[in-house]
């Protein structure tokens, strides 16, 4: 299921057969005699963040993972990817119908009537240009999606045509992306513009059209949302959503086990995953995503400036052991240089060679002060610490001394565009593309100006191949880009992983509320209690 044009379904398969990830759930009474936690009667949904989102819930600024729970439910774009499935299919949101020109340059949309922004003003076609202009002016990580727009022309209140400067087969996926352009109130943007295009205002307020509106944003402490009474779609069951920041995984699990939280949506450590798999007091779900666990190697620092050394380091890593010990029941060895659901499974394949001999030879010839490296990981993801520890042990066997260090998400993004000397030599992180299409992975992770090219590796051959695939969506150039990326020795796909969610048995609609394009979050309007 992929692209819908002019009201009729037009399926564009996710370029080839993709292995199905099973949607699984179990629930019921605890076999030890415990009683499942009761459903709430106050229509308040209690969730949590393991780490503060790190950026304001401004969809033109926000470009990480956990805060999608906010931006996905507060804002809407013209399109979105359908929930409850393991195949990426575009479906209407604020646009009800659309057409694309044969050369992927001109896109025409019929807009939804009867929509209101949270500031009470009506949604009309002028909001599309205002929102795109604002994203370009803010110039955050996801601004690349609108940089090639030549013009936005309205046809009355509920029609708009977008013309690009050059053909772009990825433009519709941009619009449906979890990080894609969100439509904001032109009145609100103008009224609250200040000197920063309303960025200050949108740290604690919102100007969206979604089923929920932001009611509290205390950075590092607590966030909350309330259902929007004039929402154009079905009325959400939950009227309020409370989301404290709980930075300790054990404390988060304790609150969930005691019934204080309705669900834990992501980043459970492997030990907890195994416990919940065997505990039928709670429901658990292994849901399809584009997430992958990648190792990044810093080509700007120390011994890693040498390509053959980078390759030797990656070859010394036993990927199968990492996956076996870290992603039990929710992941498999990464077969491609792309995450899952992005490129046909026979393209962009990754060559895994576990042979530490080359690194051992290199390490034996190094001075003592060059044998120490740092392995970094994102502190919001406990599994990445485990990966770091395991890689540390494997590199030690080959003659390198490694220390493992955690970094908050905001610091990791802060490395981008620097000389990378403050960044570690190696970093483990869970990553995903902006949309289930190959350019949105290749560009953001491999291009020099990519939004998650954390350690600044680049290759002219990679960029050239990506640019070749972009106009038509031809898959072979993207496969070649993957091969070129692998040759750099900068990236290793450890595992393709699911969203593992645990929920109270009374929480209904979890599968349908989950979209593979939006990891770490649920569309809360699709949830209910029963």
Identify whether 300 is part of a domain: yes
Is residue 404 within 8 A of residue 392, CB to CB? The reply is yes
Is residue 502 within 8 A of residue 275, CB to CB? The reply is no
Give the lowest-confidence range in 206-210, 329-333, 451-455, 489-493.
329-333
Helix/strand number for the chain, H first, E second? 15, 23
* Residue 396 host element (H or E): helix 382-397
Identify whether 198 is part of a domain: no
Looking at residue 380, its pLDDT comes to 82
User: How far is the CA of 1 from the CAs of 89, 99, 340, 381, in angstroms?
Assistant: 4, 17, 15, 31
Mean pLDDT, residues 472-476 = 96
Instruction: Determine how β-strand 372-378 pairs with β-strand 401-407.
Output: parallel
pLDDT digits (tens, 9 = 90+) for 106-139: 999 999 999 999 999 999 999 999 999 999 999 9
Looking at residue 33, its pLDDT comes to 36
Give the lowest-confidence range in 19-23, 79-83, 100-104.
19-23
Whether the pLDDT of residue 205 is over 60: the answer is yes
Identify whether 85 is part of a domain: no
* End-to-end Cα separation, the chain, in angstroms: 30
Looking at residue 35, its pLDDT comes to 59
Residue that wins the pLDDT comparison between 56 and 15: 56
Total domains in the chain come to 1
Whether the pLDDT of residue 14 is over 80: the answer is no
Instruction: Determine how β-strand 212-218 pairs with β-strand 222-227.
Output: antiparallel
Identify whether 311 is part of a domain: yes
- The Cβ of residue 237 has, within 10 Å, a number of other Cβ atoms equal to 17
Mean pLDDT, residues 491-507 = 96
Is residue 387 within 8 A of residue 358, CB to CB? The reply is no
Both tokens of 376, joined, read 């970094």
What is the CATH number for 346? Answer: 3.10.105.10
Is residue 119 within 8 A of residue 187, CB to CB? The reply is yes
Mean pLDDT, residues 403-411 = 93
Residue 7: which pLDDT band, with cuts at 50, 70 and 90?
Answer: very low
What's the CA gap between 478 and 304, in Å, rounded? 26
Mean pLDDT, residues 291-304 = 97
Looking at residue 36, its pLDDT comes to 66
Identify whether 443 is part of a domain: yes
Q: What is the pTM of this model?
A: 0.87
Identify whether 50 is part of a domain: no
Mean pLDDT of the chain, nearest integer = 91
Looking at residue 200, its pLDDT comes to 95
pLDDT digits (tens, 9 = 90+) for 209-268: 999 999 999 988 999 999 999 999 999 999 999 999 999 999 999 999 999 999 999 888
pLDDT digits (tens, 9 = 90+) for 177-188: 999 999 999 999
- The Cβ of residue 361 has, within 10 Å, a number of other Cβ atoms equal to 12
Identify whether 183 is part of a domain: no
Highest mean pLDDT among 32-36, 239-243, 449-453: 239-243
Identify whether 371 is part of a domain: yes
Strand, helix or coil for residue 139:
coil
Q: Which domain holds residue 311?
A: 292-497
Provide, rounded to the nearest whole percent, the portion of the chain with pLDDT above 90: 84
């Amino acid at each position: 299921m992929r692209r819908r044009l002019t009201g009729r379904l037009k399926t564009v398969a996710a370029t080839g057969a993709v292995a199905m990830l099973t949607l699984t759930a179990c629930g019921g009474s605890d076999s030890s005699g415990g009683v499942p936690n009761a459903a709430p009667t106050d229509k308040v949904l209690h969730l949590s963040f393991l780490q503060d989102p790190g950026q304001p819930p401004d969809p033109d600024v926000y470009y990480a993972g956990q805060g999608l729970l906010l931006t996905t439910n507060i804002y809407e774009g013209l399109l979105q990817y359908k929930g409850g499935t393991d195949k990426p299919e575009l479906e209407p949101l604020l646009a009800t119908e659309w057409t694309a020109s044969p050369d992927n340059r001109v896109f025409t949309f019929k807009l939804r009537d009867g929509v209101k922004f949270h500031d009470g003003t009506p949604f009309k076609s002028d909001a599309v240009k205002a929102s795109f202009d604002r994203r370009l002016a803010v110039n955050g990580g996801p601004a690349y999606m609108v940089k090639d727009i030549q013009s936005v022309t309205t046809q009355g209140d509920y029609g708009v045509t977008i013309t690009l400067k050059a053909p772009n087969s990825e433009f519709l996926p941009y619009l449906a992306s979890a990080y894609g352009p969100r439509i904001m109130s032109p009145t609100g943007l103008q009224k609250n513009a200040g000197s920063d295009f309303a960025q200050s205002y949108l740290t604690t307020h919102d100007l969206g059209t979604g089923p929920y509106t932001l009611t509290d944003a205390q950075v590092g402490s607590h966030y909350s949302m309330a259902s929007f009474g004039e929402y154009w779609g079905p009325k959400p069951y939950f009227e309020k959503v409370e989301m404290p920041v709980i930075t300790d995984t054990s404390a988060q699990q304790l609150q969930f086990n005691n019934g204080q939280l309705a669900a834990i949506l992501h980043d459970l450590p492997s030990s907890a995953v195994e416990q919940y798999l065997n505990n039928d007091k709670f429901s658990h779900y292994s849901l399809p995503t584009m997430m992958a666990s990648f190792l990044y190697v810093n080509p700007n620092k120390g011994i890693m400036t040498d390509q053959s050394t980078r390759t030797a380091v990656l070859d010394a890593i036993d990927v199968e052991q990492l996956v076996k010990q870290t992603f039990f029941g929710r992941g498999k060895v990464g077969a491609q240089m792309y995450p899952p659901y992005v490129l046909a499974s026979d393209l962009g394949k990754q060559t895994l060679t576990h042979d530490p001999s080359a690194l051992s030879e290199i390490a034996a010839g190094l001075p003592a002060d060059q044998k120490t490296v740092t392995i970094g990981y994102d502190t919001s993801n406990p599994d990445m610490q485990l990966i770091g520890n395991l890689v540390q042990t494997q590199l030690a066997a080959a003659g390198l001394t490694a220390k493992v260090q955690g970094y908050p998400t905001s610091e990791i993004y802060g490395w981008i565009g620097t000389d990378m000397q403050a960044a570690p030599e190696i970093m483990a992180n869970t990553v995903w593309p902006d949309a289930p299409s190959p350019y949105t992975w290749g560009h953001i992770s491999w291009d020099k100006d990519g939004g998650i090219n954390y350690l600044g590796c680049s290759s002219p051959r990679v960029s050239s191949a990506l640019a070749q695939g972009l106009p038509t969506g031809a898959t072979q150039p993207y496969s070649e880009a993957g091969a070129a990326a692998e040759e750099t020795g900068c990236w290793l796909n450890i595992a393709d992983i699911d969203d593992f969610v645990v929920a109270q048995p009374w929480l209904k609609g979890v599968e349908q509320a989950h979209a593979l394009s939006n990891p770490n979050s649920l569309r809360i309007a699709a949830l209910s209690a029963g």
